[in-house]
């Protein structure tokens, strides 16, 4: 797509369907980024609208995108009256959602993801990988994916802290992929890494940095969960 050409044509009134689609995409991208107060207002209103429409097997990509925005005000509006862990139960597990979960994990630092988004994604991943072999066939996770999940373990909390428990449970599913005589080297490697992260967390004499690099474990100095909107209407 030649963006400059589209802009030039719009300026002189030559409006194509491609130009209109581009303008819509640019507007919604600015809203999802929510870097200004007007955009934050629009994002909150959009999340409230989606909450009223309700997530379904037809529209769920819009909701995944909103959860990945990491804007707590919009996510709270989206999740109104919903339990995060079961939020995606209406959707048949598919590779798109699993990939979106791990892409979101990869984009965030270890203290930077909003709790309710993480709870939604963890609930979904546990549902997918509670049958590890079937889950792997749906979406073959890698050691990189395992690390991007393990980095969210909070070593200042114990293993029964709800978020730690949920992460450890998903890692446990991954570690179960290392079955006797497993011929797939990639599968064995990711299972071994998942088990190593769990062991380092459980062992009070060890640290996560012994299984996950410091670069991946890096924390944001001032994690931000979005600027507040000026207007929130009931």
Question: Residue 58 in 3-state DSSP?
Answer: coil
- Shared-domain flag, residues 108 and 216: yes
The answer to whether residues 201 and 102 belong to one domain is: yes
Give yes or no for a contact between 226 and 72, defined as CB atoms under 8 angstroms apart.
yes
Q: Is 224:35 a contact under the CB 8 Å cutoff? A: no
Q: What is the pLDDT of residue 188?
A: 95
pLDDT one-digit tens code per residue, 29-38: 888 888 899 9
Confidence tier at 89 by pLDDT (50, 70, 90) = very high
Q: Position of tokens 């630092």? A: 109
Tens of pLDDT, residues 153-171: 999 999 999 999 999 999 9
Q: What angle do CA 113, 60, 41 make, to 5 degrees?
A: 60
Q: Which residue has the tokens 């609930």?
A: 123
In a domain, 230, yes or no: no
User: Of the candidates 28, 52, 82, which is a domain's last residue?
Assistant: 82
Q: Are residues 109 and 216 in the same domain?
A: yes
Q: Are 115 and 213 in a shared domain? A: yes
Report yes or no on 5 lying in a domain: no
Q: What is the value of pTM for the model shown?
A: 0.89
17-26, 61-70, 117-126: the lowest-pLDDT one:
17-26
Number of domains in the chain: 2
**For range 17-27, the mean pLDDT:** 80
The pLDDT confidence band at residue 7, using thresholds 50, 70 and 90, is low
Domain around 64: 16-82
Read off the pLDDT band of 24 (50, 70, 90): confident
**pLDDT at residue 2 above 70?**
no
């Amino acid at each position: 797509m030649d963006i400059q050409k589209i802009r030039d044509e719009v300026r002189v009134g030559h409006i194509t369907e491609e130009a209109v689609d581009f303008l819509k995409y640019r507007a919604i991208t600015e809203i999802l980024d929510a870097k200004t107060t007007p955009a934050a207002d629009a994002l909150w209103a959009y999340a409230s609208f989606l909450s009223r429409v309700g997530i379904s097997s037809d529209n769920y990509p819009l909701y995944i995108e909103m959860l990945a925005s990491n804007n707590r005000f919009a996510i709270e509006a989206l999740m109104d009256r919903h339990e995060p862990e079961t939020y995606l139960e209406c959707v048949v597990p598919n590779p798109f959602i699993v990939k979106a979960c791990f892409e979101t994990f990869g984009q965030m630092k270890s203290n930077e993801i909003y709790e309710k988004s993480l709870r939604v994604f963890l609930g979904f991943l546990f549902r997918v990988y509670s049958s590890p072999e079937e889950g792997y066939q749906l979406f073959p996770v890698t050691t990189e994916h395992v690390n991007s999940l393990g980095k969210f373990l909070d070593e200042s909390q114990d293993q029964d802290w709800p978020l730690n428990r949920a992460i450890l449970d998903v890692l446990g599913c991954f570690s179960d992929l290392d079955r006797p005589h497993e011929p797939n080297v990639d599968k064995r490697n990711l299972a071994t890494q998942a088990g190593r992260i769990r062991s380092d967390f459980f062992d009070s004499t060890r640290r996560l940095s012994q299984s996950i690099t410091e670069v991946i474990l890096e924390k944001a100095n001032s994690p931000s969960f979005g600027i507040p909107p000026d207007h929130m209407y009931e």
